[in-house]
A and B are shown apart, each in its own frame.
Chain A
Amino acid sequence: MKSTYRDDFKIEGYHFGSGEKTACIVGPMRGDEVQQQYICSQIVRELQAIEAKGGIADGKSILVIPSCNPSSMNVGRRFWAMDGTDINRMFPGYDKGETTQRIAAAVFKSLEGFKYGMQLASFYVPGEFVPHIRMLRTGYEDIKSAELFGMPYVTTREPLPFDTTLLNYNWQIWNTSAFSVYAGQTDSIDVEDSRLATEAVLRFLSGIGAIDYSLTIPGYESLTLNEENLVTLTAHHAGIYVRKRKAGDMVKAGEVLATILHPYDGHVLEEIRCEQDGIVFFSHHRPLVLQNALLYKVVV
């Protein structure tokens, strides 16, 4: 697509192997998904090495789209810079519609017919997750296949009306087994979590017989959770947030996970505790919190 003042807008894809449309991997749709960008680059690098060794299975093809929105990442904007719309809220897209609807339509068309789809996604609430695979419960979710990633957790949740325009939702409706891969961070790079996510995608591709790959990190036996069953801890006060526990940490019942301090005199306004033993699944990570902000989600 031509731009008036900038270079042409391009979405590039890397094809590996040939034959059946086996799996596609989609990178950032938002300009701040730097962790996802890094992971995609590592997946492409690994697949290039695997292909060079003849490791792509005969009759199987893999497509990687490392970025659906280079234009926003180049200018440090999360959404489409011209009008603030979110490409990941435009699926399945409309090729005669608005710009981001057209981008979504073009991306969706290129992904059509793949058996498995993986999206490196981010969450709208600021924070970090335990790496996991997330799916919407549309009736088409493929939990069995999700376990092939060997991620610590597989989660499912009921779609809201707002979710019906997500890539993940539309993939499922159009017969692609869809997985959102959450790799901890969004706007910064965590090399360890990135490696875990890269290995998980390669492990999945190996598990479905698309590649021949010797794994370097052992996978997990995934625990499948309904997100509605996670224990949610919210802030009763706004203030300065001092985090003691982060995603992946084990916590004991009654333990203080974080404190909220008065921003002027520093006294403790609130101690955030979990009433049960568990593992931190999500942790808010910005230094200031609003009242009622989501701080933790804990697997108990």
Chain B
Amino acid sequence: MIKTIVNTELPLAERLLVRKNVISHGNGKKRFCIVTGTHGDELEGQMVCYEMARLVQQNIDKLDGTVEIYPSLNPLGIDTIQRGIPNFDLDMNRIFPGSEHGTMAEQTAFRICEDLKGADMVLDIHSSNLYLRESPQVRINVLNEKELVPMAEHLGVDFIWVHDAATVLEATLAHSLNSTGTPCLVVEMGVGQRINHGMCNHLVEGIFNLMKEMGMWTGDVKEMQSGIVCKGDHVEFLNAECSGVFLTELRTGINVTKGQSIGQIVNALTGEILSDVKSPVDGFLFTIRAYPIVYEGSLMARIYHA
């Protein structure tokens, strides 16, 4: 059943609609929500939503509970290929839990948050941005490590990153939900404006695995391997030493060795190599730059090391 949770007038003959598909079966009371599209340039979640809606409905007899699919929390952003909300300068994932009497963006955030509250699991799917390519990973605030890491392990992602608490992140959807007792896992994978079928299909299998673990799914699931769980200061950030064109043929999800070339920053005008970027550690490469133009400071890679 399609339900509209936000319905706001736009100036000319149109409404802003945030919709969800509610699929229920059996007597189970558990509720699993899949949300995506907070950032309009992140599209991996679209395929995950499509596959979940398709597969759950095709195998409805295997469901014992409710799956709710929210493919687009920021429909205007997706439609206009904008990360944020058109007409607002704010990142939607910095205004949660929103405000009942605030601006349109704040009211939208408020209604989304209220609608998700009480779920047994919320999966918030992101796909990096235009600039970075990410291995499938779950990011968890250290404050929620104990409850969420065991659940994340069932998703079968490459990497579970338990990060420090930061005040600025208190305005994310995940923090707003987790801090009010609704468990929310943040998935990052792929790259902005593109869809990686393999990653999406793998995450779908992981979601069914987690649903089975939660007692909501009786169908067969693939056994998932638990990925690396990173706690504490075990991630090297490789930021560009200089501006230029970053050339690399590496993909994420590989092990690299200390001193191995990650890529080069070159000057297209002079033909010079400006910087030979090498791994400072033996480790697992889980982020690589996808957009080649870099300024001094641009992130090129992230490497986990034990």
- Residues of chain A whose beta carbon lies under 8 Å from any beta carbon of chain B: 1-4, 9, 78-79, 82-84, 86, 89, 96-102, 124-126, 160-162, 164-165, 232, 234, 237-240, 263-264, 288-294
B245 touches A4 (CB 8 A): yes
Q: Are A3 and B83 in contact (CB under 8 A)?
A: no
Residues in A with CB closer than 8 Å to B36 are none
Q: Are B89 and A78 in contact (CB under 8 A)?
A: yes
Having A238-B11, A263-B13, one finds 8 other A-B pairs with CB under 8 Å, namely A4-B244, A4-B267, A97-B297, A161-B94, A161-B169, A161-B171, A240-B11, A291-B104
Chain A residues contacting B169 (CB-CB under 8 Å) are 161
Assess the A292–B104 pair: CB atoms within 8 A.
Answer: yes
Q: Are A239 and B11 in contact (CB under 8 A)?
A: yes
> What 1/0 mask marks residues of chain B from 53 to 68 whose CB sits below 8 Å from any chain A CB?
0000000000000000
Q: List 8 A-B contacts (CB under 8 A).
A: A9-B295, A82-B298, A97-B237, A98-B299, A100-B297, A125-B88, A234-B103, A238-B10
Name the residue of chain A whose CB is nearest to the CB of B8: A291
Of the candidates B103, B167, B245, the one whose C-beta lies within 8 Å of that of A293 is B103
Write the B78-95 contact mask toward A (1 if CB under 8 angstroms, else 0): 000001000111100011
Q: Are A102 and B296 within 8 A (Cβ)?
A: yes
Check B1 for interface membership: any CB of A closer than 8 A. Answer: no
A264 to B8, alpha carbons, bound, how many Å? 18
In whole Å, how far is A150's beta carbon from the nearest beta carbon of chain B? 30
A232 vs B188: C-alpha distance in the bound complex, in angstroms?
38
CA distance A288 to B11 in the complex (A): 6
Q: Does B252 touch A at the CB level, under 8 Å?
A: no
Please report which residues of chain B, range 91-135, place their CB below 8 angstroms from some CB of chain A when the two chains form the complex. 94-95, 101-104, 107, 129, 131
Q: B168 to chain A: which residues have CB within 8 Å?
A: 89, 161-162, 164-165
A97 pairs with B104, CB closer than 8 A: no
A102 to B88, CA, bound (A): 25
Contact assessment for B167 and A164 in the assembled complex, using a CB-CB cutoff below 8 Å: yes
Q: Looking across the interface, which residue of chain A has its beta carbon closest to that of B266?
A: A4
Residues on B with beta carbons closer than 8 Å to the beta carbon of A2:
242-243, 296
Determine whether the beta carbon of B88 is less than 8 Å from that of A124. yes
Which of B10, B171, B243 is close to A3, meaning CB atoms less than 8 Å apart?
A: B243
Q: How far is the CA of A188 from the CA of B12 in the complex (A)?
A: 26
Contacts of B11 in A (CB 8 A): 238-240, 263, 288-290
B167 / chain A contacts, CB cutoff of 8 Å: 161, 164
In the complex, the answer to whether B95 meets A162 with C-beta atoms within 8 Å is yes
| B8 in contact with A99 (CB, 8 Å) | no
Whether B293 sits at the interface, judged by CB under 8 Å, is: yes
Contact B171 A238 (CB under 8 A): no
* Contact among A9, A84, A239 for B83, CB-based, below 8 A: A84
B-side residues, CB < 8 A to A, are 8-13, 16, 83, 87-90, 94-95, 101-104, 107, 129, 131, 167-171, 237, 239, 242-245, 267-268, 293-299
Contact status of A263 and B12, CB under 8 A, knowing A102-B296, A125-B103, A294-B103? yes
Give the shortest distance, in Å, between A290 (CB) and chain B (any CB). Answer: 5
Q: Separation in Å of the B29 CB from the closest CB of chain A?
A: 33
Residues of B within 8 A of A98 (CB): 239, 297-299
Residues of B within 8 A of A240 (CB): 11
In the complex formed, the residue of A with least CB distance to B95 is: A162
Chain B residue at minimal CB-CB distance from A30: B89
A91 to chain B, nearest CB (A): 11
B267 contacts which chain A residues (CB < 8 A)? 4
Contact A124 B89 (CB under 8 A): yes
User: Are B296's CB and A290's CB within 8 A?
Assistant: no
Closest A residue to B294 by beta carbon equals: A4
A-side contacts of B296, CB under 8 Å: 1-2, 99, 102
A124, B90: Cβ atoms under 8 Å? yes
Instruction: Tell me the nearest residue of chain A to B86, going by C-beta.
Output: A290
A82 touches B293 (CB 8 A): yes
Asked whether A290 lies within 8 Å of B8 as measured between CB atoms, the reply is yes
Nearest chain B CB to A76 CB, angstrom units: 15
User: What CA separation (Å) do A294 and B245 show in the bound complex?
Assistant: 43
Cβ–Cβ < 8 Å partners of A165 in chain B: 168
Q: How far is the CA of A293 from the CA of B293 in the complex (A)?
A: 37
Known contacts A4-B293, A290-B10: does B244 contact A162 (CB below 8 Å)?
A: no
User: Which single residue of chain B is at the shortest CB-CB distance from A123?
Assistant: B89
**Which residues of chain B are within 8 angstroms of A126 by Cβ–Cβ distance?**
87
What are the residues of chain A within 8 A of B13 when measuring CB–CB?
A: 263-264
A83-B131, A124-B88, A293-B104 given; A162·B94 CB < 8 A: yes
A99-B171 in contact (CB<8A): no
Cα separation A102 to B295 with both chains bound (whole Å) = 11
Whether A162 contacts B297 by the Cβ 8 Å rule is: no
Q: A98-B239, A238-B11 are in contact. Are A290 and B87 (CB under 8 A)?
A: yes
A164 to B16 CA separation, bound complex (whole angstroms): 30
**Top 3 closest A-B pairs, CB basis?**
A238-B9, A161-B170, A291-B9
Q: Looking at A79, A82, A240, which has the most chain B CB atoms within 10 Å of its CB?
A: A82
Task: Identify which of B8, B10, B244, B295 contacts A82 (C-beta below 8 A).
Answer: B295
Q: How far is the CA of A18 from the CA of B158 in the complex (A)?
A: 57
Measured CB to CB, the nearest residue on chain B to A290 is B104
A78 to B84, CA, bound (A): 13
**Minimum distance in angstroms from B167 CB to a CB of chain A:** 4
CA distance A79 to B13 in the complex (A): 31
Nearest CB of B to A297, in Å: 12
How far, in whole Å, are A294 and B88 apart by their CA atoms in the complex?
Answer: 12
